[in-house]
Amino acid sequence: MRLLINLLVAIAIAVIVGLGSAWLVLDRERIFGAMTRGAWTAWPELGSPNADPYSRAELARSGALPLGDGEGIAFVADSDDSGAALTDRCNYVVSGQTPAARLWTLTVTDRAGNLFETPAHRHGFHAREILRREDGSFAIALSGEPQPGNWLPVTGSGPLRLTLRLYDTPLTSSGIGEATLPAITRKACR
């Protein structure tokens, strides 16, 4: 009888540890294959057959659809260039240029990827509607108050995430290290 109780306890511990460790791994952001450039991070293998099993499992659980291999690449930023977390209590400027791509989009969401309700009904910009400087660079203001020029309203309730998607780009997993991505600069906070 004692052997049966010990066996049941061992099985219960194994199940709890196994399911708990799987839940902890899948509850986090993708942890393997990340490539970082400044404040921006990308997972170039995510939409390819070479994606790691943990990322595949997290994608299956969340239902997210990554850009496929050859379609493009997505960069996310949860912090500004100084390393401070992006929040709706601060104003930011995203400025510079993007790597070569047929089209790019920049979207602001909460950390879960949900769009905010904004009075302007604007959640992002794409390459064909942005106002540019003479040298081809741009500046996009992220703020709760209206700003002149390119402005994305931020009316969330806490942390922010920026997602820059580059479509039909020559960037590859080996070329991301040299890519020039827009700077994210914190301005005044309220």
pLDDT at 168: 87
Nearest to 105 by CA among 127, 136, 122: 127
pLDDT at 42: 84
pLDDT at 71: 84
Compute φ and ψ for 132, nearest 5 degrees: -115, 160
pLDDT at 59: 73
Q: CB neighbours of 109 closer than 8 A, spacing ≥ 6?
A: 115, 116, 123, 160, 161, 163
Q: Which amino acid is at 188?
A: A
CA 101/CA 115 separation, integer angstroms? 24
Residue-wise pLDDT tens for the chain (190 aa)? 888 888 888 898 988 888 877 666 555 555 667 788 889 988 877 777 777 777 777 777 767 777 777 788 889 999 999 999 999 889 999 999 998 889 999 999 988 888 888 777 888 999 999 999 999 899 999 998 888 999 998 886 789 999 999 998 887 655 676 778 999 999 988 7
